[in-house]
Amino acid sequence: MNKYIKTDIEQGLQYLKIGIMNAFVDIESGEADEIELGDFIPFSLVRKCAEERGYQQIEDFDTNGWECDCWHYVQRPNQKAICIEGNLWYGTSKIYIVDKYE
């Protein structure tokens, strides 16, 4: 493997992680109720960022049964619940506040 490929991928993932963490900050601060992340953001990276910010799963991982769409509900103590919505084929599309856990 070209020695730069590994470094390029690592740096790209680090930039994505910074953007995802900033999206969580905007939602937590009340600046936004929903952040569109777009396609091609790895669901696993968004989930890992949520865990690093102290979020815990509050409901079983949910899929719609016929497509690769998924919803992952997480919450930190004394904070609003957040849904990480995505598509296992295209990547994560958005994170947003959900009211059903208040």
- Write the pLDDT tens digit of every residue in 11-51: 999 999 999 999 999 999 999 999 999 888 988 899 999 99
pTM: 0.86
Name the residue type at position 94: K
Domain count for the chain: 1
Which residue range(s) make up the domain with 71?
A: 3-98
Q: Which pLDDT band, with edges at 50, 70 and 90, does 1 fall under?
A: low
Six-digit token pair at 81? 């619940």
Six-digit token pair at 24? 């969580």
SS (H, E, C) the chain: CCHHHHHHHHHHHHHHHHHHHHHHHHHHHCCCCEEEEEEEECHHHHHHHHHHCCCEECCCCEECCCCCEEEEEEECCCCCEEEEEEECCCEEEEEEEECCCC
